[in-house]
Chain A
Amino acid sequence: MSLAVVGVNHRTAPLEVRERFAHAAREVPASLERVLAAGAGGGVLLSTCNRTEFYLAEPGEGAPDAVWAILSERLGGGRSASAYGYFRRDRDAVRHLYRVSAGLESMILGESQIQGQVREAWEMSKSQAGPVLHRLFQSALLVGARVRSETGLAMGAASAASAAVAVAGKIFHQLAGRSALVLGAGDMAELAATCLASEGVRVTMVANRTYERAQAVAEELGARALTLDQAWEHFATADIVLSSTAAPHAVVTWERVAAAIERRGRRPLCILDVAVPRDVEPAVGRLENVFLYDIDDLQTVAAQATAERRKEIPAAEHIVTEEVDRFWTWYGGLAVVPVLKEFRGRLDQVRAQELERALKRLAHLAPEDRAQIEQFSHALLNKFLHQPTIALKQAAHVGRGYGLLEALKRLFGLEQRDGE
């Protein structure tokens, strides 16, 4: 019995390689089926934009090769995917998944999205996972939750988009129900707007230089499309303005904002300028009750949060180690019974063969004497097996069973049969 993880992540492969390995939900069963057919007792495929990993239970010799073959086909050009990846076994594989689930392996340290992705991967592969991987993924989700609740690894906003949410959250009593005006229809604006929407902010208007593009993004966000010229008057009503146009100069000027905010009373206005070059004149930030932040400010918030999160790594690693030991105790106990059965069977086979050979040489013995000798061989075998059996069960109980089992397999040649 063993566990393994075969895959690539953002540390081992560049984006252009990772995006080729990414599996859509509909592609997962077929890929897993190929790996299981190559020799594995169960499998779960975790595929996100930052990683593609096959978790395998009882992998045979051919299973890792099957994974590399699948990934190499996607890579194309005769290149081998194994050059970008890693292969980890047993405790290291368990530790790896726990670290992934805790956010310790994430590009943005401690991010919580991975927890949901691990859950989705597990649910998607449920029919092919098998009991050991079920237990492993269940425990991985618990480890992720434990790390996030018992340490500060998920504290603060560690990306520019989440920093935008954090900054707005320090101005308004609550973000849910606030209205946002989005200027520009680029990817960054869309990403930050999605982040705000996930906090309950209503993106009510999307304005862009070209109306058609504004309309496309507005439809996705459930908002109204405007041209930039129509947008200025809405500074009087919006709570948050998110700006990310491709303009080569500042389009949000002091005059435009000052004219609009006269009509908004003393309500604060949060302007998040995520464009490079900046869309908003710095002087706008000096207006009373206007809070202006550009991409550098948001990155400062994110960098500070990341530095704080780094301090929590030892505490998170401690939890991971504790939970790996716990899993391994369970797994070791699970493995003891079949190996012991096989060990006993193998020795009994030897006993029977040797007994038969001896009895052939002792053909003159009476049937009662032959029976005595056979009984003696059984008793002797039981005596020999008694202490190792007790020791193995005890070791399994305290979590050291797996090491002894490996030694037993190797010493008595059980592993050849295990691998068959």
Chain B
Amino acid sequence: MVLLAHLLALGLYGLATALALAPYAGLRPPPRGLTLAVPLVGIVCHVVGVAQLTLIGVAPALSMLALFLMLLQVVSERVFRAGAVGVFTGPLATGLVSLAVLIGLAPGAAAAGRSAWSVLHITVSILGLAMLALAFIAAALYLLQFRELKAKRFGQVFRLFPPLERLDRLNHVALMIAFPTVTLGVLLGYGVRYAGGVPVDAAQVVWGTLTWMVLGWAVSVRVVRHWAGRRAAFASIAGFAAVLLVYLALKLAEPGTQRFL
């Protein structure tokens, strides 16, 4: 059932990706209802699959990250009319689910070594990470559109990407929500470790704290120093890259798919 739900979600995410990319291949943009409905049905299938997973190891984390990314894609499209976000989130989520399926997803008892607080910590932390990824995507879209507008190139990016200000606002909102989310995730992590007595590796502490600090910096430059536009976009991209690179470095230091870190 877990695998079937994931495979269904994978197929629908693949289709959602194809719909998002279709206008860039010169095809007529699909109806908006379809670009919302296909990922939504995929999300429903995915939730069914994720609900039966034990949140231990890399595969469930990747699966959950993909789920949140698709959820954020739908919200971005619905609230910000930023369908171009799907150009990034679609392939990313499809790749992450594929990777999770390849690594191996197995159902397990919900309580197998994990308390409800621990599950909440993991869920909230991954949601925060997905929000950070969304801020990165909005920033990347901003820079691409900025470059096209400055260079007076009126191609597909100009026509299909949202306006600069909307992308800047999406980046801002994503960071503003990501920061308290990651803060809560980190606090829950400390709670699970010190109050719950669950052993937590130093790598997890380092990475969690670094993510929180990077987000704090990205938020502070926006709020305190009033960065916006291109400079804020670069800050988001640098922050996300730092979080990703440190994760990869820590993972290389202790390889394996049994543990997230």
Contact = CB atoms under 8 A, between A and B. Distances in A.
Nearest to A171: B164
Contact of A268 (B152, B158, B169, B229): B229
Given A156-B159, A172-B165, A268-B165, 16 more contacts: A167-B149, A170-B145, A170-B149, A170-B158, A171-B149, A171-B165, A172-B164, A173-B163, A173-B166, A266-B226, A266-B227, A266-B228, A285-B150, A297-B154, A300-B152, A304-B154
A243 to B, nearest CB: 16
Given A156-B159, A170-B145, A288-B230, A293 B164 contact: no
Interface string B152-170: 1010001101011110010
A265 B226 contact: yes
Contacts of A297: 152, 154
A271 to B, nearest CB: 12
10 contacts: A170-B145, A170-B164, A171-B149, A173-B169, A265-B226, A285-B150, A288-B230, A289-B229, A300-B154, A304-B154
Interface string A315-344: 000000000000000000000000000000
Contacts of A172: 163-165
Interface string A256-280: 0000000001101000000000000
Interface string B209-226: 000000000000000001
Nearest to B167: A173
Which of A170, A171, A265, A266 has most B Cβ within 10 Å? A170
Contacts of A173: 163, 165-166, 169
A301 interface: yes
B183 to A, nearest CB: 27
Interface in B130-152: 145, 149-150, 152
Interface residues of A, number: 20
A169 interface: yes
Nearest to B229: A266
A152 B27 CA distance: 11
Contacts of B152: 293, 297, 300
Interface of B: 28, 145, 149-150, 152, 154, 158-159, 161, 163-166, 169, 226-231
Interface string A272-313: 000000000000010011010100010011001000000000
A366 to B, nearest CB: 80
Interface string A168-197: 011111000000000000000000000000
Contacts of A289: 229-230
Contact of B163 (A156, A170, A300, A301): A170
A202 to B, nearest CB: 17
Contacts of A171: 149, 163-165
B150 A291 contact: yes
A152 B169 contact: no
A170 B169 CA distance: 14
Nearest to A291: B149
Nearest to A294: B152
A152 B26 CA distance: 12
A169 B163 contact: yes
Contacts of A301: 154
A297 B152 CA distance: 7
Nearest to B165: A173
Which of B145, B152, B154, B230 has most A Cβ within 10 Å? B154
Contacts of B229: 266, 268, 289
A266 B169 CA distance: 13
List 6 A-B pairs, minimum CB-CB distance, nearest first. A173-B165, A266-B228, A173-B166, A301-B154, A170-B163, A266-B229
A301 B150 CA distance: 14
Contacts of B226: 265-266
A69 B41 CA distance: 65
Contacts of B159: 156
Contacts of A304: 154
Contacts of B163: 169-173
Nearest to B231: A266
A149 to B, nearest CB: 10
B226 to A, nearest CB: 7
A301 B163 CA distance: 16
Contacts of B166: 173
B81 to A, nearest CB: 10
Contacts of A293: 152
Nearest to B154: A301
A306 to B, nearest CB: 12
A304 B229 CA distance: 28
A301 B159 CA distance: 10
B149 A152 contact: no
Which of B152, B161, B169, B227 has most A Cβ within 10 Å? B152
Nearest to B148: A170
Nearest to A315: B28
A239 to B, nearest CB: 10
Contacts of A268: 164-165, 229
Nearest to B155: A304
Nearest to B159: A156
A152 B159 CA distance: 13
B55 to A, nearest CB: 38
Contacts of A288: 230
Nearest to A312: B28
